Chain A
């Protein structure tokens, strides 16, 4: 893209206060939005475009022919914004890396971003915007189960256009089963995988009385269901459960919920929620004297959760981080044995992924590295490989074809990525992590008493 387009970008950001932002990785300047939010604005845009026509017309047209735009709707505001931000950073870092090396066989990867605040209805309207206004190549990296669950019927609606959702950040069973499995490609292990992995480890550590604290929606229920199923395999059931309303912030008081679970004398508590809610629950549980191990799923964003607890620890001078188990769907990015982890660290250190300014409604200090952004990075790498394979003529139908034909792709994390017809989940392995000595450490087994 030449400099002639830059005024476009500057102006378009000025004229578009909507939550849509397109970030072209590796360039300092975003491509102009093709559609404005309103007729008047669009007219103003057209007029000003005439002024720079001579300079800037040919370039975007040419560039547009060699770039693929992906639509990402995620939480960039609200308590769950940490996930959206981090996943976005990982994806962008990967895109930037790919684009800096000539793109995916000449195709620049572009990410168009909209904020849904972890609420289903905005996610729905964002998706319609992506498909009908921006006409993105595919949807990529949606964050959250309830939001994605609401979008799935829409994908079925767009079946004729073969619109698909790539690598959403959720482990919900819904995305892996009929009837929507055909429209979604998952990279990460499911919540069932995660809860099973967690439960096996807890069971091995002698924990029999398991309580569940979960979000009162699809995500929470999915996790709860996973725990229930894993327990029933051992002939056990959940001793107590409690729900909370989606959107809870760290300031929420969970002492009542802690009391309800505590009454059942659990050996361990599995939480299925977002980082602020889980952190708040852990805080109240530890404050109430609950010493049982507390486990979280990958969606709880261990990095941000630990940030909350460390900040709390400074205030109350208590240790909140011992006895916590985090389930993860990607290995530790600190593992020097993994080529992907090495590349991720290198790219993240070099990349200057600016968080989209229009989406920065609330302050967010990004983590330099995190599990979530690592996962985003890996997703970006897989996508780049898929684009590379169809670089001669990329279409959605071919993208689906390429992904389904992907067998044993080594992305440098040990486990290989495989997709196939009726098999829309690339990775299955989960990892257990604890926070120890100022960092995350992989563990194979949990300490515990006799079974």
Chain B
């Protein structure tokens, strides 16, 4: 906002007036307030001092400084005093509240206080300034008129100053408020007067500048209003006069301006030079064209002599013919004009005279004709040049024509050669057995040969290209990317084998060899390569692979693959605690019997059937493998609970039990299954499988068509077995010389002759710790582990040595003691499968030098049953050696009389069970059996030996039946070699000492 002069002056005045007023009132009221407050404070201080002096007179008089201090401390606290000081009548300070010491100013007053008595008011008031900056009202109040000393108190004046300051501040704020209100009012007043005046002044100024558009808005009833009205009517009249004058002038000038304008345009725009010359020959006017013509553009030549500027000829022409020019317009004439630089050019000039008010002038029109002349000359020269050039060109053309003809002839020769080469390579391309192609990096075939199309099943290469340019033939989508990546990386692709889809949808294997073709700049142009169909090779490989890992008979995975899967399953179980699996091991019961009796063909069919049954029961994730023979293993993966494996086992056993029709025969089989469920504790798959096998073995021993889960007990038993095995091997080790194995000899008696007829050699194993083991406890294990071979050889050799001793002992006896004296040695059935046996026996017999006729081998019938053909041959060779052959426990197995004939057995032994049943009511037909066997033996001329004879009744019965031989505790237990020799020496071979008296016999 802009303040007008009037208002500014008013403002300055008011500021000054109010400033003076404020200062005056401040000083005045400040002083008054100060006076009144000081008075009031002094009054208060005096009152306080008096109250201290009078209220504590007794204390003060006591001169007990402590009590005085207590009193003044209390007063100081309550009265808001700066200090209190008590002086005794002698002027000594008794107590004070200063810290640390009484200031010098106060001490001075204390010293100056008159010692004499004061009565009445008595107090003295002064104002002190204490360091650092404290103004106090000091009052000295005498106690008992000075007789009791003085009380000095100090009251801080700071509150007074603070009160004065606050009062002045409040007053000034009020003054300022009033001042601002006045300024506000003044502003509105001045706006009412100066505003319209300023508007009128503006209006008058605009009228003076001929601006009549403005109006004056000031309308009021006062003097300013009438002044405005008068100005408005005056302005209206002035406006009328001015408008009229201006319109008439404008009309006159516009006619003139039109004429001048058109003339100037004509003069300025004509191409010819215009020159106006006065009578004296001086230039009056000229146009731009003239100046351009003379190279004087932009100069003003007015007033200069024409002759001097444009040359003598032009000047002469412009001036001389003035008289003629005045008469009529002269015809154009050609003159030589001269430029200021001296150059001259031909020009046409036309001169005409004009009479004007200021005298006559010559108006000349000049035209430069030099250009036209020059152009004509140039045209002549051009024509001559053109004619020359045409002649030359014609010569050139005829020469070139000749060369072209020669070149055409050469090209024809080269083209023929190229076509021949092309045809040759195309032949290779078209007829190659391998597919050949060119392929752009963008994935389009550029070319392909018929073999290529054929591989992919298309009739022609074009069909192939159009069908496969956009579609990848690879079965595996990523193969193309691999192909391109390899190509970019290595620049070529070798033996790139992939599966592709042919046109008819069939999938084949191809092998690609390709390379990248680049241009000299290194950019890839295309890939070219060969394709061969390797489907046949791949299939052969797959077949080989399958054969390597599968059983050819059943098509099941073999042991190797199974172990692989098992190993992976164990890995998975280690990674995933919730993953459980089970391993089953199966063996067919009596498969050997079927195989042997019905032939391998049927056996193979049976195996295939079992394999199918297993696969039927198994899920797709399980692995069913054949380990060879009739052994199968199943890996059940990812089972939820052990009962899954149990269910599976039940189903398998049930399925296998079903009767089967093979080539018209009904075949029955069954399987034994071992299961390992707690697979997590195994590290090696072999151990796992071994335990499954163990469990299976247990199942088998418990009976057929069963399954058994491997448990801790089996584990313990397996350990035990192993321990026995190790111990047995140690016992057999001759280098250790343990002498744990001992041979005992049980006498066999000729009942009829009542004499010793031989021994049965029995084996005892006295283990460390004194435990004696019977053969039944360790022979099965020995058979299983193969220890039986060295064991039996050892027994045979030892027995031969003993037999040699017996022979010598018998030599000393009468000859009848040697008649049919034979020692029986037990031989495991296993040996009958070993081709080594006979050779070994022969060698041992020879080295010991014993008579083979005094030795008989005891075998069980199961040997003969298991391996009929082989056993028969072995038996025959044993007989050839001269050894006797005795069937042990005859009657307990598949006792077939045909064996006796077939194997030329010369003795049979009646099992102790039958003998034990003799003479007992619950004998279960023992008597009949024994009788039959005895009769049989007599009929077939076999020696019949009764085992386990323990009572006289048994012996009597056997004797009664005509049984020739017997052995048992009734006669003697098993004896050591020494005892046996002693027995022989005592003549038992002639007559058994103490032979029981038979009832009735």
Contacts and interface: CB of A to CB of B under 8 A. Distances in A.
Nearest to A241: B101
Interface in A221-276: 221-222, 224-225, 228, 241-245, 256-257, 260
A216 B98 contact: yes
Given A218-B73, A221-B95, A173 B67 contact: yes
Contacts of A219: 66
A349 interface: no
A177 to B, nearest CB: 7
Contacts of B95: 221
B606 interface: no
Contact of B65 (A225, A256, A260): A225
Nearest to B98: A243
B152 to A, nearest CB: 16
Nearest to B69: A221
A217 interface: yes
B68 interface: yes
B240 interface: no
Given A146-B73, A217-B73, A221-B95, A256 B100 contact: yes
A79 B67 CA distance: 25
Interface residues of B, number: 15
B70 interface: yes
Contacts of B65: 221-222, 224-225, 228
Most chain A C-beta atoms within 10 Å of own C-beta, residue among B64, B66, B67, B101? B66
A218 B68 CA distance: 8
Interface string B55-77: 00000000011111110010000
Contacts of A243: 96, 98-101
Contacts of B82: none
Contacts of A182: none
Contacts of B98: 216, 243
B97 interface: yes
A174 B100 contact: no
A260 to B, nearest CB: 6
A241 B100 CA distance: 8
A218 B70 contact: yes
B70 A216 contact: no
A172 interface: yes
A256 B97 CA distance: 17
Interface in B79-111: 95-101
A172 B66 contact: yes
A241 B69 CA distance: 15
Contact of B67 (A146, A174, A228, A257): A174
B99 A216 contact: yes
A242 B101 contact: yes
B324 to A, nearest CB: 133
A149 B68 CA distance: 12
Q: Which of A173, A221, A228, A241 has the most chain B CB within a 10 Å cutoff?
A: A221
Contact of B66 (A173, A244, A245): A173
A172 B95 CA distance: 15
A225 B100 contact: no
B101 A216 contact: no
* Chain A CB within 10 A, most for which of B67, B95, B97: B67
A228 B95 CA distance: 12
A222 B101 contact: no
A173 B64 contact: yes
Nearest to B97: A216
Interface in B179-206: none
B91 to A, nearest CB: 12
A247 to B, nearest CB: 12
B99 A225 contact: no
Given A146-B73, A218-B73, A221-B95, A174 B66 contact: yes
The main secondary structure of chain A at its interface with chain B is: helix
A146 to B, nearest CB: 7
A245 B70 CA distance: 14
A242 B100 contact: yes
A219 to B, nearest CB: 8
A222 B66 contact: yes
B107 to A, nearest CB: 13
A183 to B, nearest CB: 16
Nearest to B100: A242
B99 A244 contact: yes
Nearest to B70: A218
Contacts of A245: 99
B77 to A, nearest CB: 9
B208 to A, nearest CB: 87
A177 B99 contact: no
A257 B854 CA distance: 141
Nearest to A121: B77
Most buried by B among A222, A225, A241, A257: A225
A174 B71 CA distance: 11
Interface in A324-358: none
A245 B68 CA distance: 17
A169 B98 CA distance: 26
A218 B100 contact: no
Nearest to B77: A120
Contact of B68 (A146, A172, A220, A221): A221
Contacts of B101: 241-243, 260
B67 to A, nearest CB: 6
A170 to B, nearest CB: 11
A218 B64 contact: no
Interface string A172-191: 11100100000000000001
A225 B66 contact: yes
A221 B84 CA distance: 14
A221 B66 contact: yes
Contact of B100 (A146, A172, A244): A244
Contacts of B100: 242-244, 256-257, 260
A257 B101 CA distance: 8
Contacts of B69: 217-218, 220-222
Contact of A149 (B64, B70, B97): B70
B99 A174 contact: no
A221 B66 CA distance: 5
A218 B66 CA distance: 5
A173 B67 CA distance: 8
A262 B64 CA distance: 27
A216 to B, nearest CB: 5
B200 to A, nearest CB: 81
A172 B73 CA distance: 15
B652 to A, nearest CB: 76
B288 to A, nearest CB: 106
A216 B84 CA distance: 12
Nearest to A178: B62
A279 B934 CA distance: 135
A224 B101 CA distance: 13
Contact of A225 (B64, B73, B96, B97): B64
A109 to B, nearest CB: 31
Nearest to A216: B99
Contacts of A260: 100-101
Contacts of B99: 216, 243-245
Contacts of A257: 100
A245 B100 CA distance: 8
A40 B98 CA distance: 46
A221 B99 CA distance: 12
A307 B67 CA distance: 33
Nearest to B71: A218
B702 to A, nearest CB: 74
A73 B589 CA distance: 107
Given A145-B66, A177-B64, 9 more contacts: A173-B64, A173-B66, A174-B66, A216-B99, A217-B73, A218-B66, A225-B64, A242-B101, A243-B99
Q: A-B pairs with the 4 shortest C-beta distances?
A: A221-B69, A225-B65, A222-B66, A242-B100
Interface of A: 145-146, 149, 172-174, 177, 191, 216-222, 224-225, 228, 241-245, 256-257, 260
6 contacts: A146-B70, A173-B66, A216-B98, A217-B73, A221-B68, A242-B100
Interface of B: 64-70, 73, 95-101
